[in-house]
Structure 1
Amino acid sequence: MNKAGGATRGGGKVMRALGAMSGTSLDGVDAAILDTDGERISAFGASAYRPYGEAERSVLRAGLGQWLGDPVTRAGVVVDAAHIALLGEFETPDIVGFHGQTLAHDPRGKGTLQVGNGAALADALGCPVVWDFRSDDVRLGGEGAPLAPFFHFACAKWIGASEPLCVLNLGGVGNITYVDPRFDGPEEEGALLAFDTGPANAPINDFMQMRLGQEMDVDGALALRGTVATGALELFLQEPYFSRMPPKSLDRNDFPEMIELVSELSDADAVATLTAMSVAAVVQAMEHMPTSPKRMLVTGGGRKNKVLMEMLSVSTGCPVEPVEAVGLDGDMLEAQAFAYLAVRVLRGLPTSGPSTTGVRALVGGGTISRP
């Protein structure tokens, strides 16, 4: 295997890339085909999803927050097997972008850990695999997250956007990308600003699992029946993270007090309050935008939560829509992003920069493993 090298510019060959993403919500693996030269999107292809079984999810939960030892090893085995099973269903692509599963993220301390063996995937699938996307960024002083913004820029170009917009991803953790499509490329100063907003679905899912044995608040149905506890919400917003200037990033478990803040509430009131906390974090993030975006496009599982989306519409001051409104697939956008980034790594193009992760200079992170 070898590390990606320096940047080259100019038109590249359009490649059929297969991207895979296993997010912090621990629901399963998304996989999607993207035809791209690493700069422009040529076409979106087939996609597929493989949910984790409850036993697999338990193994992954046991590994969260761990850096070494048996829980990490066992989580890696689950991640590799799930990805090989799903990605093997596709016709062999030119390249695979394999994110792996984040177990721990501490860019200012121990670093970042995504389990999953790209070399094993390359052997199993019979094609090159780009993986370990975040480590180089962290090593060079960046947050290592979020990594989708360069792809969000390509999406803004693909939909023909002409004015600044925001792409809000509501997975386990929320992250936002401000995109100004008037620039030619994502690496230009002013084209992008991206950072993690705060907790999104993870605390809601954790609460639902703990209290009710359910994976999530489907469609926001439970939150709809509840009342937001404003005192708990105000305490949440005192978290120092919100006053930090971006770029900045979070680990899935960085806000453990959220569950404690709602522990004495009824199920419905607790979930309504956790949902309001996720929205309030986004509202705080909007204060850092260079200009007011003309629209907010929402991706990730949170866009299916009707209460959350309504709260966003009321609170953010700009039109809020799921990415499907512009012809994108909110279930597969992150998988497509890692397909896109894989081609960039192969071409030696940057995958992150000062305005997206806080890294000191443009960096093209990623390890390339060949079968």
Structure 2
Amino acid sequence: MRTIGLMSGTSLDGVDAAYLETDGEQIGRLGPRLTLPYDPGLRRLLRGLLDRAETLAEDDPELLEAVARLTDRHAEAVEALGLEADLIGFHGQTILHRPPKPGSNHHPFTWQVGDAVALARRTGITVVHDFRSADVAAGGQGAPLVPVYHRALAAPLPKPLAILNLGGVGNVTWLGPDGEMLAFDTGPANGPLDDWARKHTGKDYDASGRLALAGQADGAVLGRLMAHPYLTEPPPKSLDRLDFDRALKEAGAAELSAADGAATLCAFCAVCVAAAARLFPEPPMQWLVAGGGRRNPAIMKALQGALEEPVRPVEVAGWDGDALEAQAFGLLAARVARGLPITFPGTTGAPRPLRGGRIVGALL
């Protein structure tokens, strides 16, 4: 199948689009990819919605505006690729993610927004969307979804192998030599660091890690952050981008200088990954890093200091680290169309391999 995967992550930077030919199990051909950034106004709008997500109504005027604008941007990404396709895998924008948690009495749910019907009409291509909710309804975490793509992509590589994606939140896939998959969210990654850079420099992120590299991680703040119970919880587990906000405030990070705060957040990202590694069945032979975090020398330096195994960007394997998540939703769309499972006990804690997703035909 000819697929286009679309992904907009918790960093709120824009839409990644990637072309992929696949049957949902094997990868036939990787095609072009691109990123269309959100304009500053849409970023501000989405950030404001995330800040009040817990009380947000589905008919909120700002939410409706955001849905229309981000759907248009996704359609523009498909049009910019300029390729014929059979399916679009449309993740949408996560507004709130509240999976099941031990000891919690909240009703689990996951909320991604985006108008799949409008996207199908505008592009003339069948759209697969709503990838997470069936898993959450069955008791799974609804995340991460990308591991089944990692397994297909990494088929020729030596195992065990760890693939780390550093977006707003970090997530890791551990692949065993016999096809085993274990995956979960590691903890905060670019999200808090981007927020910190925005507050202290007015920039959307810490370019080249310059701010963090100019500072020193604060041991006291880092120690308080390391006490967060999430780090020792066994998988399956997943996070919302804002789950650590309270911990960051209570740890005293706001009292640090701009440089020391950035360095501390980089160190905490690495500590979270090291804690995740202790939950693997056996150590990986290497770590391959995708997502925006791999471009931050301060984060990569902190990771190599916290982990015993080599830490490398995914490009050393010939992969495109900016395209992996979008490509994954192309493969997931094909799996949904074929009725194949998209979540698994080792990736989301689903009770069994589960199908998911919904399909919107192009001729509505």
TM range (shorter): over 0.9
Question: Aligned partners of 1:292 and 1:75: how far apart in 2?
Answer: 43
The alignment's TM-score, normalised by the length of structure 1, stands at: 0.92
Identity %: 46
Q: CA deviation digits over 1:48-95, x for unaligned, max 9?
A: 110011101011111115242233322212210110111122222111
The number of residue pairs the alignment matches comes to 348
Contact persistence 1:161–1:181 (CA under 8 A):
no
1:54 lines up with 2:54 in the alignment: no
Q: Give the counterpart of 1:291 among 282, 293, 300.
A: 282
| 1:110 CA drift (Å) | 4.3
Letter in 2 for 1:173: V
| 1:47 CA drift (Å) | 0.7
Contact persistence 1:141–1:360 (CA under 8 A):
yes
- SS at the partner of 2:204? coil
Unaligned ranges ≥5, structure 1 = 1-14, 184-190
- SS at the partner of 1:231? helix
Contact persistence 2:6–2:18 (CA under 8 A):
yes
Unaligned ranges ≥5, structure 2 = 101-106
Structure 1 counterpart of 2:202 = 213
Question: Aligned partners of 1:154 and 1:341: how far apart in 2?
Answer: 11
Question: Aligned partners of 1:48 and 1:336: how far apart in 2?
Answer: 11
Q: Give the counterpart of 1:302 among 293, 304, 329.
A: 293
Structure 2 counterpart of 1:96 = 88
1:167 lines up with 2:163 in the alignment: yes
Structure 1 counterpart of 2:103 = none
Question: Aligned partners of 1:297 and 1:223: how far apart in 2?
Answer: 22
Question: Aligned partners of 2:84 and 2:171: how far apart in 1?
Answer: 31
| 1:210 CA drift (Å) | 1.6
The alignment's TM-score, normalised by the length of structure 2, stands at: 0.93
Letter in 2 for 1:100: G
Structure 2 counterpart of 1:122 = 120
Contact persistence 2:14–2:35 (CA under 8 A):
yes
| 1:131 CA drift (Å) | 0.3
- SS at the partner of 2:151? helix
Structure 2 counterpart of 1:247 = 236
Q: CA deviation digits over 1:108-158, x for unaligned, max 9?
A: 23400000011111111111110010010101100000100000001111x
Mapping 1:1-371, distance limit 5 Å: 15-64=1-50, 65-66=52-53, 67-68=56-57, 69-89=60-80, 90-108=82-100, 109-157=107-155, 160-183=156-179, 191-256=180-245, 257-259=247-249, 261-371=252-362
Letter in 2 for 1:20: L
Q: 1:181 to 1:73 in 2, by over 3 A?
A: farther
| 1:181 CA drift (Å) | 4.4
Question: Aligned partners of 1:17 and 1:344: how far apart in 2?
Answer: 11
| 1:259 CA drift (Å) | 4.8
Question: Aligned partners of 2:351 and 2:69: how far apart in 1?
Answer: 35
Q: CA deviation digits over 1:294-322, x for unaligned, max 9?
A: 01000000000111111111211101100
What is the aligned-residue RMSD (CA, Å)?
1.1
Contact persistence 2:2–2:84 (CA under 8 A):
no
Q: CA deviation digits over 1:232-291, x for unaligned, max 9?
A: 001001111112110100000001132552111111001000111111100110000001
Question: Aligned partners of 1:124 and 1:18: how far apart in 2?
Answer: 15
Question: Aligned partners of 1:325 and 1:258: how far apart in 2?
Answer: 34
Letter in 1 for 2:48: A
| 1:16 CA drift (Å) | 1.1
Q: CA deviation digits over 1:175-210, x for unaligned, max 9?
A: 000012433xxxxxxx10000000000000011112
Higher helix share: 2
Q: CA deviation digits over 1:323-355, x for unaligned, max 9?
A: 000000000100000001000000011101111
Question: Aligned partners of 2:21 and 2:83: how far apart in 1?
Answer: 14
- SS at the partner of 1:91? coil
Question: Aligned partners of 1:70 and 1:265: how far apart in 2?
Answer: 37
- SS at the partner of 1:42? strand
- SS at the partner of 1:88? helix
Question: Aligned partners of 1:61 and 1:70: how far apart in 2?
Answer: 15
Structure 2 counterpart of 1:3 = none
> 4+ runs of 1 displaced by more than 4 Å?
none
Question: Aligned partners of 1:283 and 1:176: how far apart in 2?
Answer: 11
